[in-house]
Structure 1
Amino acid sequence: MNMLQQLAQSSYGYTTYTTSSSSNDLDPAAAAALIVFGIITFIIAYVVSAILLGRIFKKAGVPTWMAWVPVYNSWKMLEIGGQNGFWAVLALIPIVNYVSIVFVFIAMYNIGLKLGKSGAFVVLGIFLPLVWMIWLAVDSSTWNESLGAPSKAVEHLGRSNPPATPTTTVL
């Protein structure tokens, strides 16, 4: 018998594999619902934080529309907090973002000082940043450039602080 005949007569068993649904599988409709929920949550968080950051920018003399531009809003926040804005871009790079967060915290510290808060107020910003932004955005504090590190925001430079008490001129 030659080799071709042997191969033709031999039988090889083929194993078929089947997959079955287990209790660990996620229903596609549930997965879609989770994705939609995540997107809606992200949009709400973005809008709320942009509104709050816009109010903080207004106190600092920076145009409020800048709070709505992703990454640029972080750049401006760093600048009004006395830090270089490029840390906002570097925060997008893995590993480097650990260094940039330190500069964000320093900027938050300086922003708190400029709005009349104590140095310990930054702890609230580190652990509950949304509460920190709400507090700074809605309270009646005014921006005082003489406190904290000088602002690096171009829009803010040269802005004079309003007097602490209203002045009246008697003629």
Structure 2
Amino acid sequence: MNEYESSGIAAGTGAGAAIFYLAIIVVMIIGMWKVFEKAGKPGWAAIIPIYNLIILLEIVGKPMIWILWLIIPCVNIVFAIWLYNLVSKSFGKSEGFTVGLVIFPYIFWPILGFSSAKYLGPSAAEAQNGGFGNNPFNNPNNPFNSPNNPFGNQDKPNDTPPPVV
């Protein structure tokens, strides 16, 4: 094989990889488009780079200052994962779905867009739980909610002062 044949093979491989990459991006954008439409926002906003972040912030109900946090290097990774978590919670999904959105967005955006998931509002699951994940203070299995609480009953404050020594 001479140098012309090998460069042709490399060019074909590169072109094929570029077409495959663009197809994945198109599928992800179509999924985001459908998610935006489910939330009552314009679907075309998914294809405009910074504007799609503004629309995502409106969907999850966060202030516009988050745009600043989403464009600062290193900080943006944390806030993007947090934003994806709030998006999945706004559609009634769990933290596992957030992991999917972070690791495999080209699969999970179309799942969110084309599935039967309903838009419930800004961070709906968080509002129901009172915080991220399971709130330990609302957990009926919390040992401090039991009658054997070693710290006393917090519902009835003790009005007697401590003894003077």
**TM-score, structure 2 normalization:** 0.61
Across the two proteins, how many residue pairs are aligned to each other? 122
SS at match of 2:34: helix
Q: Any idea what SS the aligned residue of 1:62 has?
A: coil
Query: Could you tell me which amino acid in structure 2 is paired with residue 42 of structure 1?
Result: Y
CA positional deviation for 1:69 = 2.4
**Aligned partners of 2:59 and 2:121 also within 8 Å:** no
State the identity as a percent: 26
Structure 1: which 5+ residue stretches go unaligned?
A: 1-20, 151-171
Cα distance change on mapping 1:114 and 1:46 into 2, 3 Å: same
SS at structure 2 position matched to 1:117: coil
> Which whole-Å deviations, capped at 9, do the CAs of 1:28-83 have from their partners, x for residues lacking one?
21221122113212221221111100000011111001112244334433553336
For 1:54 and 1:144, the matched residues in 2 are separated by 17
Superposed CA offset, 1:114-159 (max 9, x none): 1111233212222222222122111112212252689xxxxxxxxx
State the match for 2:14 in structure 1.
35
In structure 2, C-alpha distance between the alignment counterparts of 1:22 and 1:137, rounded to whole Å: 49
Which runs of no fewer than 5 residues in structure 2 stay unpaired?
128-165
- Compute the RMSD of aligned alpha carbons: 3.0
Provide the C-alpha distance between the structure 2 equivalents of 1:33 and 1:87, rounded to a whole number of angstroms.
40
Pair 1:117-2:99 in alignment: no
Say whether the 8 Å CA contact 2:28–2:107 is kept in structure 1. no
**Structure 1 residue 55 and structure 2 residue 34: aligned?**
yes
- Considering fraction of residues, name the structure with more helix: 2
Give the ranges of 4+ consecutive aligned residues of structure 1 lying more than 6 Å apart after TM superposition: none
Distance of 1:71 and 1:27 partners within structure 2: 41
Q: What residue in structure 2 maps to residue 85 of structure 1? A: 67
Q: Structure 1's 108 and 142: CA in aligned 2 closer, same or farther, altered over 3 A?
A: same
- The structure with the larger Rg is 1
